[in-house]
Structure 1
Amino acid sequence: MANFICPVLNARLTSPFGWRNIGRGKEWHQGVDLASPIAGLKVPIYASASGEVVWAAPLSTYGNSVRILHKIDGKTYETNYAHLDHMMVSKGQLVKQGQQIGVMGNTGGSFGIHLHFEIHNGRYAVGQPNAVNPMKFISLFNTNQENGDELTMSQYTELKEMITELRKENSDLKKQLENKLDAQKVREPLDCHKDDWKWFKANGITDGTNPQDYVTREQVSTLLHNMDSFNTKKFKK
């Protein structure tokens, strides 16, 4: 999936993609409307991806509009940013992802300050035949628009899939471990191992807290029993 970022910092979705009725009858909304969580400010609008500005002028009910042509992984996309208060780029200019291209406004056929944002899978055309739901490409919760280092929707989806797969693998390993532990028989330390452990504590070799499990005790005790110096010291009496 192409790597797009939300053009508004920590945006609020006010009108989704698809059919809607906002007082003008049923209509097809070929983009999404985004508002800022903080009202009354000159809210910056950012390029959703790197590309070339192919339109930067008023356009019918869009008002002040900027369109950017993108070439991503061999595919062509075009984004549209409408109802801008004013534009900060011009036609033919190359922009980077996260670069400010304008300020949120209320121009054209708009009922309030917001950004109408479109993503086209291919070139923009009258009637918006290539318009796709931007929410399949972007996340509303961005942390650093200008650097473009937010977690995009495509990255979020990929990360979610990875986490799901890791959880599945972890669950399988946990079951295997539980089955293996259930198959083991609980064994008590031999008397000689218990006796050795008491001697370790008495002579300051251990405080008795670690290790205490049977296997470790057995290994330590067996190892020391194979050492002539240990046996001489312990059993000299």
Structure 2
Amino acid sequence: MAETPNNSENMSRRKFLRNSGYVAGGLIGGGIIGGLLGANLNDDDNDKTAKTDTNAAHSSNQAPIYFTNPEQFAVLKAAVERIYPKDDNGPGAVDLGVPFFIDHQLAGSYGNNTREYMQGPFFPGSDFQGYQTPLLRHEAFDVGLAGLQSYSQQKYKKNFAELEGEQQDEVLKAFEEKKVKLKAVTSSTFFNLLRAATLEGVYADPVYAGNTNMDGWKMKGFPGHQMSYLDKIDSKEFQKIKPNSLHA
């Protein structure tokens, strides 16, 4: 009688470990990882298509969810690029997908302050008391981006995205120093939110739409999500490790 094929022949140990990584990532990434997991568990062990699948999954993240106004999104792109500009060290915020990272975050729990107490009464807080505004974060971004636009038009008679780099820096500096009056949120609070979100988008896992091609990690020499360091931990030499995303 013919022997029943062993399932291990259809799923190599490497494939199993990789898919286990998807499961762990799913606890962090939510539904995005879930969709990838189902597809990869049923695939043959074809590593040649892994990179293509990763790029396709990342490309699907490169579309606005929260921002429906192209002008508003253009202001965001211009602002984050000045905060984290392209230079000789590597790509800037736009090439790293940061605007899409921020867009997706604002559409979710972060942008809606889901896990924070947001009921009144509201009192003016100090700069050392954390988030101090009755606005949800996505509302604070709406107000702040509109403020960047109106302040630029008032000062330079141009939209923020049309300004020269040094002019954009001057506008952002005015916001950082709380010199611009906004409704229900200080300009410095908005600037700090924008700056923090920009850096998070540069270094977040690409599954969240930023850090395109893991270039943010590559500039820092950060290995990302590795299954194990057992083969390197005893080495006396510095180890350069190719970064790995939750996508692959």
TM-score, with structure 2 as normaliser? 0.24
Between Structure 1 and Structure 2, which shows a larger proportion of strand residues?
1
So what's the TM-score if we normalise by structure 1? 0.25
Q: Which has the larger radius of gyration?
A: 1
Greater helix content? 2
